[in-house]
Amino acid sequence: MAKSVNKVFLMGYVGGDPEVNAVDSSGILRVNFSIATNRRKMNKQTGEVEELTDWHSCTAFGRTAELIRDIVKKGDLIHIEGEIQYYKLMDNINNIAKWITSIVLRDFSIAKSKNPPKLNAATVVTTIAAAAPKPDGDDDLPF
Say if CB 61 and CB 99 are below 8 A apart: no
Q: Is the model's pLDDT at 91 over the cut of 70?
A: yes
Q: Is the model's pLDDT at 133 over the cut of 90?
A: no
* HSE-up (13 A, CA, CB side) for residue 47: 0
The pLDDT value recorded for residue 128 is 46
Contacts with 50 (C-beta within 8 Å, 6 or more apart), sequence order: 40, 41, 42, 43
Any idea which fold 8-131 has? OB fold (Dihydrolipoamide Acetyltransferase, E2P) (2.40.50)
In angstroms, the CA 43 to CA 36 distance is 21
User: Full-prediction pTM beyond 0.75?
Assistant: no
Helix (H, G, I), strand (E, B) or coil at 121: helix
